[in-house]
């Protein structure tokens, strides 16, 4: 069979060169380039990134880009690092694992005289750490979202007590209970939002605030809920808006919300319990593996000895 490595390499390099030329505008006619320059100057062209423009046309794609965006996951997971720092860290992990595997391969080769595994296999295993890091980041973000939802859902009754006498507004009651949680996730989130509201930090939350813009607490909570995908914060903000617009009693609204949330939680747990049944059966089924191994191993050994 002919060696295809060189043609494939040439093809890939050619493809990359073509893409680079296309993106740098080498194939764009001069008149189009000139029009783009004029359009940009008069703000007639759409300068947003490609994924945003595609997202406008295909909402499902926009949702996908949003869900998988690493900077957003880093913000939700409350990681202080930016996208570049995260990428560098992942690259270091990948290289470290690859180097460790190559070292083991090398040590083993010293006794055998040849490499037990091709170096490409070590590189592939090392590269596996990149998606693993992404999945870990996603898990961390989801955990924080759940913790935030839980922190709000399980504090509604206490907020109702605080607002009962009218000494506290819903927002100040939320601040109060956030300071009383053992995990300070909610307090961190509210403090970040306040700081963001006070002076719009570059690279901070994407709340869409101008540096001197004043927003109502309800709007800030709504935007935080959307930005962080914290369902309870969004729900609380909706109820706060109802309180403000229709003059409802805060403690009554919070109590109702608490009851509804509790019922939903119980229903979710019941669903989870039902879903867990087949999985539990599968886990017990897995017990066949050690059982078979325990029984069959002596048989295999005996057969092996007999043939020897």
Is 239 among the residues that bind other proteins (CB under 8 A)?
no
CB contact at 8 A, 178 and 147: no
Taking CB under 8 A as the criterion, which residues in 33-92 touch other proteins? 80-81, 85, 88-89, 92
Q: Cβ 211 to other proteins, closest distance in Å? A: 29
> How many residues touch other proteins (CB under 8 A)?
66
Identify the residue whose tokens are 């540096």.
Answer: 211
Is 136 among the residues that bind other proteins (CB under 8 A)?
no
Burial letters for 163-193: b for 16+ Cβ neighbours within 10 Å, e otherwise?
bbeeebbbbebbbebbeeeeeebbbebbebb
Is 157 among the residues that bind other proteins (CB under 8 A)?
yes
Contacting residue, 182, 210, 246, 308, with other proteins by CB under 8 A: 182
Q: How far is CA 32 from CA 44, 45, 52, in A?
A: 14, 12, 22
Is 134 among the residues that bind other proteins (CB under 8 A)?
no
Phi-psi region of 247 (alpha: psi -120 to 50; beta: other; left: phi over 0): left
Q: Cβ 208 to other proteins, closest distance in Å? A: 29
Q: How far apart are CA 209 and CA 225, in angstroms?
A: 15
Q: How far apart are CA 207 and CA 86, in angstroms?
A: 22
Is 100 among the residues that bind other proteins (CB under 8 A)?
yes
Is 111 among the residues that bind other proteins (CB under 8 A)?
no
The smaller minimum CB distance to other proteins, of residues 6 and 294, is found at 294
Is 273 among the residues that bind other proteins (CB under 8 A)?
yes
Q: How far apart are CA 253 and CA 264, in angstroms?
A: 16
3 state SS of 300: helix
Say what angle helices 185-198 and 217-228 make with each other, to 10 degrees: 120
Residues that bind other proteins (CB under 8 A): 80-81, 85, 88-89, 92-93, 95-96, 99-100, 102-103, 106, 109-110, 146-147, 150-151, 154-155, 157-158, 160-162, 164-165, 176, 179-183, 251, 255, 258-259, 262-263, 265-266, 268-270, 272-273, 275-276, 279-280, 283-284, 286-287, 289-291, 293-295, 297-298, 301-302
């Amino acid at each position: 069979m002919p060696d295809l490595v060189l043609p494939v390499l040439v093809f890939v390099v050619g493809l990359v060169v073509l893409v680079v030329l296309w993106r740098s505008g080498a194939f764009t006619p001069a008149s189009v380039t000139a029009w783009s320059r004029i359009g940009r100057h008069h703000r007639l062209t759409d300068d947003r990134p490609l994924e945003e423009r595609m997202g406008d046309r295909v909402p499902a794609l926009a949702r996908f880009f949003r869900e998988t965006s690493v900077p957003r996951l880093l913000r939700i997971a409350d990681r202080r690092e930016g996208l570049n720092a995260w990428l560098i860290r992942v690259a270091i992990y990948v290289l470290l694992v690859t180097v460790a595997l190559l070292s083991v391969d090398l040590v083993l080769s010293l006794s055998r005289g040849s490499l037990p595994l091709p170096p490409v296999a070590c590189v592939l295993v090392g590269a596996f750490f990149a998606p693993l890091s992404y999945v870990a980041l996603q898990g961390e973000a989801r955990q924080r979202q759940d913790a935030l939802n839980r922190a709000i859902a399980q504090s509604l009754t206490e907020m109702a007590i605080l607002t009962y006498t009218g000494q506290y507004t819903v927002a100040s009651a939320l601040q109060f209970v956030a300071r009383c949680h053992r995990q300070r996730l909610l307090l961190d989130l509210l403090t970040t939002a306040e700081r963001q509201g006070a002076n719009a930090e570059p690279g901070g939350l994407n709340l869409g605030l101008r540096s001197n813009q004043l927003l109502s607490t309800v709007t800030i909570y709504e935007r935080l809920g959307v930005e962080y995908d914290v369902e309870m914060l969004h729900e609380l903000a909706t109820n706060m808006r109802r309180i403000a617009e229709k003059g409802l009693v805060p403690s009554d609204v919070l109590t109702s919300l608490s009851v509804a949330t509790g019922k939903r939680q119980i229903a979710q747990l019941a669903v989870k319990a039902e879903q867990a049944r087949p999985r539990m059966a599968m886990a017990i089924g897995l017990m066949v593996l050690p059982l078979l191994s325990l029984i069959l191993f002596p048989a295999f050994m005996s057969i092996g000895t007999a043939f020897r």
